[in-house]
Amino acid sequence: MSFAAFSDQQHIVQLLQRSLEKGRLAHGYLFTGSDPGVLEAMAQTVAKTLNCTQPPRLGGGLALDCCDHCLNCQRIGHENHPDVQWIRPESKSRAITIDQIRDLMQTINLKPMEANFKVMVIVAADRLNTQAANAFLKTLEEPPARSVLILLTSEPGRVLETVMSRCLRLNFSGEAGFRVAGQHLEWLKTLSELVKNQGKTLLDRYRWLGSLAAKLNALKSEIETHLTQRSPLERYADADSKLRDKWETELAAAIEAEYRRQRTELIAGIQAWLRDVWLVTQALPLDQLCLAGLAGATQAVAARINPEQAMENLGVVEDLQRILESNVQEALALEVSFLKLQL
């Protein structure tokens, strides 16, 4: 994506482009907002713009956007550019650890290998544990020349004040409604039609649950394939056994963290649809729906339940999200929650 794709975020795009134009890009940014996908996409676009080899030339011949097609843009988009690093929670506790931050600090102090700028993106910055955050403060305050640090969070209230004070905060609160990733939206359409066309028997509930289980299994398989391809295990087959053990542990933790993140997004999509069902039971205008493409199924389901039942459904999914944050058995938590839904 290029900056031109962020039509709902023009206030942020304009601020970033003015900074680029004046050569005064901040050394540290904190992107906050309710949609992690938008935050990651914007961070990626900043990295592309800084390192694009064929940028569109805007006013004054300045490069204030990326082409999104050159080799650098493509590699950054696929998260395999050596000068653009992504740090995500990878420990069993889903925290960003001091070891990850030490690796980041070592990497950022090296000269760029291929690009003009080194860009370090910390996803879920609210997961920085205290030890990691404290080790990171000096680098965040004074990073090396030609390097930019971008921190992302949908929970800014959990980011340590010492970290927040060293960043320029850009708030993405102006997003136009809830967004569901394309691959999740297609499945959500399938689920909503399944619910719409089937009855409310116990067997129907297990059909819906089976659809979700199949989606989650496919999701985890895709994540495993993608992250394994990026792992040093694939590139350095003759590495020392202790180092390979470390990489295997990191890979397993990374897969689990990314799966949990995408599972949360998927269930948030279900929650957004159930919110739409509740809105329809309240006889509110259809133009207020988050997921307009699911309006037919939304109206059909809303006609079968009352507002109190629709509100209870939202509570069930909220509780499910909270339960899944703990170390519970996923299949059991999903089964119990789906059997409670009134559809």
pLDDT digits (tens, 9 = 90+) for 82-135: 999 999 887 556 788 888 899 899 889 888 888 889 999 999 999 888 888 888
Looking only at the bridges linking them, the beta strands covering 84-87 and 28-32 are unpaired
In which residue are the tokens 């949990």 written? 260
pLDDT band at 175 (very low <50, low <70, confident <90, very high): very low
Average pLDDT of the chain, as a whole number: 85
CA dihedral sign of residues 284, 289, 292, 295: negative
pLDDT for res 221: 94
In which residue are the tokens 């420990």 written? 91
For the beta carbon of residue 42, count every other beta carbon within 10 angstroms: 25
For the beta carbon of residue 48, count every other beta carbon within 10 angstroms: 27
Q: Per residue in 179-204, is it b (16+ CB within 10 Å) or e — as a string?
A: bbeeebeebbbebbeebbeeeeeeee
Task: Identify residue 21 by its one-letter amino acid code.
Answer: E
Lookup: tokens for 21: 């134009």
Domains of the chain (ranges; CATH) run 3-171 (3.40.50.300), 182-340 (no CATH)
Q: Is the pLDDT of residue 61 over 80?
A: no
Q: Which of 54-63, 131-140, 243-252, 258-267 has the lowest mean pLDDT?
A: 54-63
Q: Is the pLDDT of residue 142 over 70?
A: yes
pLDDT for res 42: 94
pLDDT band at 176 (very low <50, low <70, confident <90, very high): very low
CA dihedral sign of residues 296, 299, 303, 309: positive
C-alpha–C-alpha distance, residues 312 and 271, integer Å: 12
pLDDT for res 19: 84
